[in-house]
Structure 1
Amino acid sequence: MDAFLGAAAISFGLVFVGEMGDKSQLMALTFATKYRLRSVILGLVIAIGALIGLSVGVGAVAGNLLPTDWIRLAAAILFIGFGLWGLRGGREEDDDLHVKERRSGLLTVIAAMFLAEFGDKTMIVAMGLGSSYNPWAVWLGGTAGMLAADLLAVFAGAWVARRIPEKVIRYVSSGLFLVIGVLLGVEAVTALAD
């Protein structure tokens, strides 16, 4: 049970920090201004649960087929890459994704969030964690982490944007990815050397 809770907590933390300042938060904030809050929250739950579930499933299958130490090393390289990518500054190419108002806010939120985040760093992080830890714990923690980050944007996005510079959020997030990447890399290299 401790390993399950530990994996869920790690997944929650990594996904939550990785989503801070990401396009999904901007989209969630925008959706909250266009649609009923109930539709936005339900849409986020469905899209995020499906996305993280798909990611963890792929990671778990790959984890059973490939040696864990090599997957851990690949995950370390990805974490370091995400950290360096976050330090580069600028805007992501699809930050300006605008979704026109449609009949069903729920379907719009589900489709837009799933497609915008498909292949994003959150999905890759969940794949890496799913290959090393209990997939159910990673799904639970990752889904809760991404949902918490996006709901934070829905409920407090305007306050955060006025008071905390985007650069600070980006640098803290990047620093955590770099530290975790280095720690995973050291662990993987040590295990491979044995």
Structure 2
Amino acid sequence: MEAFLISTGIVALGEMGDKTQLLALLLAARFKRPLPIMAGILVATLVNHAAAGWLGAGIAAWLGPQVLRWVVGASFLAMAVWMLIPDKADDAPTAAGRLGVFGTTVVAFFIAEMGDKTQIATVALAARYTELVSVVAGTTLGMMIANVPAVLLGDRVAAKVPMRVVHAVAALIFAVLGILALAGVGQG
């Protein structure tokens, strides 16, 4: 349960103001069809984070517990710094084309998530925790917690949420997790 809750919280906070959340806002503004957009975000996130989680679990098995502790700790500290760097939206999608709103969302979200903070966090969390399904379920839920309101409420939410504070809190959480990992807290 710890892996699920931490994964959910970290990704929900980490996604606030992230480029994929900005993409969700852009898709919602462009297509005005929230259900296929939310479904597309869910599918893209599940596939992307399952692959990232699988990679993280593989890295954990390959490195061994001592090296892994240092890699995960350093990764979390790097994520803390990265959280303090705000994202900017890329070009807005111009049309759904042949893929439709759902397909466009799946493709756009999957590509935007590649190498993103939340994908890297999923790799690190899956390397840290042995419960791969809990990590992927948690990171996916965290993405949905951050993106569904963006799709449904659009600019009204973005204007009221203090992104600097959210990013600072997320950075603090990543830093604490990094320090705990380096200290060996929670290791068998």
TM-score, L = length of structure 2: 0.87
CA distance in 1, matches of 2:39, 2:137: 16
CA distance in 2, matches of 1:120, 1:61: 19
- The correspondence of residues 118-129 of structure 1 with structure 2, limited to 5 A, is 118-129=114-125
SS at structure 1 position matched to 2:184: helix
- Percent of matched pairs sharing the same residue: 31
CA distance in 1, matches of 2:139, 2:158: 24
Residue in structure 2 matched with residue 110 of structure 1 by the alignment: 106
Residue in structure 1 matched with residue 48 of structure 2 by the alignment: 51
1:68 to 61, 65, 72: 65
Alpha-carbon RMSD across the aligned residues, in angstroms, is 2.1
CA distance in 1, matches of 2:96, 2:153: 25
Note if contact 1:20-1:173 (Cα within 8 Å) is conserved in structure 2.
no
- The correspondence of residues 1-194 of structure 1 with structure 2, limited to 5 A, is 5-35=1-31, 36-87=33-84, 89=85, 91-92=86-87, 95-103=89-97, 104-131=100-127, 132-187=129-184
Q: Please list every run of 5 or more consecutive structure 1 residues that lacks an aligned counterpart in the other structure.
A: none
SS at structure 1 position matched to 2:95: coil
SS at structure 2 position matched to 1:119: coil
CA distance in 1, matches of 2:158, 2:34: 20
CA distance in 2, matches of 1:187, 1:111: 39
Note if contact 1:71-1:128 (Cα within 8 Å) is conserved in structure 2.
no
Note if contact 2:76-2:124 (Cα within 8 Å) is conserved in structure 1.
no
Q: Please list every run of 5 or more consecutive structure 2 residues that lacks an aligned counterpart in the other structure.
A: none
Distance verdict in 2 for CA 1:69–1:160, change over 3 Å: farther
CA distance in 1, matches of 2:65, 2:80: 22
Could you tell which deviates more after superposition, 47-56 or 157-166?
Answer: 157-166
CA distance in 1, matches of 2:48, 2:36: 18
Aligned residues: 184
Q: Which amino acid aligns with 2:16?
A: M
